[in-house]
Amino acid sequence: MSTDDVTALIATVEAQERELEFATFDNDDAWRLGCLLVELAITRDLPVTVDVRRGTQQLFHAARPGTVADNDSWIERKVRVVERFGASSFLVGLRSRARGTTFAQQHDLPHQQFAAHGGSFPVRVRGVGIVGAATVSGLPQADDHALVVEGIRAFLA
């Protein structure tokens, strides 16, 4: 992927994060969003694990056939990136790449605790800020990210 492609992708993801804001977000919303993401995965027979949190509380978690326990580890690592950097795990990784480095080199954080790979998207409430994260693990990182974005967009429609 060229530098121009990375720059364009960063702009797209930043626009998604500005666009996809919730009016409110409670436990029932987390359940409905999680179920919507699982339904999308079922209709496409995708082997993903889905996780939705408000703050540090896990409110929804489901693992589809074809996933493994390691997907749970990936979710934890991606969520930590959202919590620490206030942006989607995909965007954080892309920003490092645009600087000509890797997330690991740029931030020197423990690899087993942080993963700036696509799939965890901030749950942002208008006028409040980030209150949680919705995460998918099991597909290539751009596909994990795209599925979460599609689910949130459908939820907010």
For range 141-157, the mean pLDDT: 97
Residue 58 has pLDDT above 80, yes or no: yes
Task: Copy the structure tokens of residue 73.
Answer: 């580890």
Asked if residue 56 lies in contact with residue 113, where contact means CB atoms within 8 angstroms, the answer is: no
Task: Give me the domains of the chain, ranges plus CATH numbers.
Answer: 3-156 (3.30.450.150)
Task: Note the pLDDT of residue 4.
Answer: 75
| Side chain identity, residue 91 | L
CA angle 46, 40, 9 (to 5 degrees): 80
pLDDT in tens, 65-113: 999 999 999 999 999 999 999 999 999 999 999 999 889 999 988 889 9
Task: Note the pLDDT of residue 3.
Answer: 73
pLDDT in tens, 15-44: 999 999 999 999 999 999 999 999 999 999
Residue 1 has pLDDT above 80, yes or no: no
Task: Note the pLDDT of residue 135.
Answer: 98
* CB environment 30-50: b (16+ within 10 A), e (fewer): beebbbbbbebbeeeebebbb
DSSP for 83-151, please give it: HHHSS-HHHHHHHHHHTTS-HHHHH---TTT----TTEEEEEETTTEEEEEEEEESS-HHHHHHHHHHH
Residue 97, C-beta contacts closer than 8 angstroms, at least 6 positions apart: 6
For range 108-132, the mean pLDDT: 95
